[in-house]
Structure 1
């Protein structure tokens, strides 16, 4: 038996070669699609490998009578060829459809991969932005309001965040006159701050300043403020009751500014806050400043602001910025209070280490582009 393999482009070519070489008695044993060898084969259409066989005696007869058979069986051959063409065409259409389907699936896979890559890059940028905001100490609830989904690049975010800071940050330009009360929790530096403020107003702005304290719980604080008042030659009053407060205010009525130091109160103690509110109302203060330390934990800022909101403070003084290395707390305080910054304090020196910052200075501090020390 003679067995031969044919590598052809299609079945038409295979049948033609088989009929010519082996004759009409040859039979097709198998057929399969193959690719041309080498890398280039992946980029070319598939070929067909057709295996045909013929018994030896039939091959001899074929060689002797081939001319007669060609004439006698030409019509039969044409008919068979037409039938085979129909089958091949049907198979090729089916293959074309399968290839089109495969191409479409490959296209969908590419689109999916591109989307995954884009999402992965977006997640990386989101993480970079969040890491940056955490590094500069922006509180989580404030971060959630920033719509980080709108940014696919940290540099673009920083540029946009700077514009947002310029918009949100408000600095008080008020000329202090009349009765000014400082309120706030214990330990934020109210007494030192009021001494700095008194020195600034008296020594730099040349205003006539008076001091009153109702913080009689801390003897050391009273003595400290009294010492500052004597050094700066400023009248100083200590009061305990509302009646004493009325008398002290009357005695200092010729002063341009009367600074009132209050007792530190827990923002969670509603009774203490109510007592403070009654005192402030009796004073009829012209300006109330809430003093908050720049070292206050983010989770405590909102509690303090909410607790003291009953006293109707007008602006914020942020202290102890020299004791921290990140200044995101400034934005957290501004964002949650929606109040102006009146002053910041940056050290222990009286009266030097207190000032009204510019919006640009505050932005640079928050963004980590500048530092106090």
Structure 2
């Protein structure tokens, strides 16, 4: 007998819609399967066979995050197949800051009304993010919660686990004044600061379909640009040379995130003119009349991740990153200072 409850459906939860959604998302999940993934969707837990061959002291590294109020833009655009990339990116970009390779990912979707095609579209994006990160989508949860979420809205969060050899964990113990700071460009606003973005552009009411000359696309398209996933090029670089620190530039911008990776007595010295600021941030600052300090303390400003490498390895680092499809450039240097922080001069 198939599972069905007329009473539950009358309360706003359609069990059969959930089954349909799972069937629709299977094709996307299949794209993410890696050698360690076991089983398929439908179980109570996601299985992954951890291969630690050649590792002496494997350390598991986990990360979790959500997409945040960027989802409001997806609702206005009625476009749902990219926010899943953001969800994966926010987790796996954190994991690689300590040198870990992402292994598995799980998502959580909560909605007011479960529309199978919409949920499958969301998972399509999650699967694409997993493919970019080399992680298997081993499970997830879709919760229909009428009366808690508006009918046409949802929330999306995720969780990832990776592994790193203990002796190769990236920390700041080898950082020295004179080390080079390398910038990995962002694809846009990524998934941070959207409460301010929405206030500046008044996106609750503005037409997100309006074409903006400065952006070369509509406002909605620019704001929905998925977060860049840096996993594969960064891990490739770590195979070639020592990386002394990595910072994922998320909410809080330069001033909050870069110091998190600095060693005691070190500061990040960056020339403002060397930062390749993207047009969307120039438009945000101009439209909202936002002080520059606040811009750099809220947004990534065109830099999604920073790496610290020995100065004599900097040119090679740029070459290795380029060989792995990642644009990069010199952003600054590590200098001596009494208190960890960023000097933007």
Same fold (TM over 0.5): no
**Larger fraction in strand:** 2
Structure with more contact order per residue of length (Cα contacts < 8 Å, sep ≥ 6): 2
Under a length normalisation based on structure 1, what TM-score does the superposition of the two structures give? Answer: 0.20
Which structure shows the bigger proportion of residues in helix conformation? 1
